[in-house]
Chains A and B, each alone.
Chain A
Amino acid sequence: MDRPIRVLVAKPGLDGHDRGAKVIARALRDAGMEVIYTGLRQTPEQIVNAAIQEDVDCIALSILSGAHNTLLPKVASLIKAENAEDILIVGGGVIPDEDIPGLKASGISEVFTPGTPTQVTIDYIRANIKRA
Chain B
Amino acid sequence: MFNKDQISILKEAVEKENAKTQESLQKRPERKAEFTTGSGSPVKRYYTPADIEDMDYMNDLGLPGQFPYTRGVQNTMYRGKFWTMRMYAGFATAQESNQRYKYLVEQGSSGLSVAFDLPTQIGYDSDHSLSEGEVGKVGVAIDSLADMEILFDGIPLDKVSTSMTINAPASVLLAMYIAVAEKQGVPSDKLRGTIQNDILKEYIARGTYIFPTEPSMRLITDIFEFCSKDVPLWNTISISGYHIREAGSTAAQEVGFTLADGIAYVEAAIKAGLDVDTFAPRLSFFFNAHNDLLEEVSKYRAARRLWAKIMKERFGAKNPKSMALKFHTQTGGSTLTAQQPDNNIVRVAVQTLAAVLGGTQSLHTNSKDEALALPTEASVRVALRTQQIIANESGVTDVVDPLAGSYYIEAKTKEIEDQAMEYIKKIDEIGGAPKAIDMGYIQQEIMDASYDYQKKVETGEIIVVGMNKYQIEEEAPKGLLRVDPSVGEMQKANLVKLRAERDNARVDAALAALRTACEGTENVMPFILEAVRSYGTLGEICGVMREVFGEYQQSVNL
Contacts and interface: CB of A to CB of B under 8 A. Distances in A.
A16 B451 CA distance: 18
B133 A13 contact: yes
Contact of B458 (A65, A66, A118): A118
Q: Is the interface of A mostly helix, strand, loop or mixed?
A: loop
Interface string A11-45: 00111111100110111010000010111110100
A96 B480 contact: yes
Contact of B374 (A41, A66, A118): A66
A8 to B, nearest CB: 13
Interface stretch (A52-60, A76-84, A109-117): A109-117
Contacts, number: 107
- Looking at A25, A96, A117, which has the most chain B CB atoms within 10 Å of its CB? A96
Interface string B391-427: 0000000000000000000000000000000000000
B476 A117 contact: no
B450 interface: yes
Interface residues of B, number: 44
Contacts of A29: 558
Given A19-B247, A26-B451, A35-B558, A115 B208 contact: no
Given A16-B206, A17-B207, A71 B133 contact: yes
B155 interface: no
A71 B480 CA distance: 20
Interface in B307-353: 334, 337-339
Contact of B207 (A16, A27, A98): A16
Contact of A117 (B138, B207, B458): B458
B556 interface: yes
B134 A65 contact: yes
Q: Is the interface of B mostly helix, strand, loop or mixed?
A: loop
A40 B247 CA distance: 14
B137 interface: yes
Interface in B192-248: 202, 206-208, 246-248
Contact of A14 (B122, B246, B450): B122
Given A15-B207, A19-B246, A19-B248, A37 B556 contact: yes
A22 B450 contact: yes
B133 A69 contact: yes
B118 to A, nearest CB: 4
A70 B476 CA distance: 22
A22 B558 contact: yes
Contacts of B477: 96-97
Interface string A81-113: 000000000000010111000000000000001
A130 B373 CA distance: 32
A114 B132 CA distance: 24
Nearest to B369: A96
Nearest to B483: A66
- Looking at A65, A70, A113, A115, which has the most chain B CB atoms within 10 Å of its CB? A115
Given A16-B206, A37-B558, A117-B458, A66 B450 contact: no
Nearest to B118: A14
A119 interface: yes
A24 B419 CA distance: 28
- Looking at A16, A67, A94, A98, which has the most chain B CB atoms within 10 Å of its CB? A16
B554 A39 contact: yes
A119 B138 CA distance: 30
Nearest to A117: B458
B454 interface: yes
Contacts of A27: 451, 454
Contacts of A15: 118, 207
Contacts of A37: 556, 558
A14 B372 CA distance: 19
Contacts of A94: 371-373
A112 B530 CA distance: 47
Interface in B122-139: 122, 124, 129-134, 137-138
B458 A119 contact: yes
Contact of A16 (B129, B202, B450, B476): B202
23 contacts: A13-B134, A14-B130, A16-B118, A17-B246, A19-B248, A22-B450, A22-B451, A26-B558, A27-B451, A27-B454, A40-B207, A40-B554, A43-B129, A66-B374, A94-B371, A94-B373, A96-B476, A97-B476, A98-B480, A114-B338, A115-B467, A117-B468, A119-B458
**7 closest A-B pairs by CB:** A16-B207, A70-B133, A97-B476, A67-B133, A14-B118, A66-B137, A39-B556
Interface of A: 13-19, 22-23, 25-27, 29, 35, 37-41, 43, 65-67, 69-71, 94, 96-98, 113-115, 117-119
Given A98-B480, A115-B339, A117-B468, 7 more contacts: A14-B122, A23-B450, A23-B454, A26-B451, A67-B133, A67-B137, A118-B458
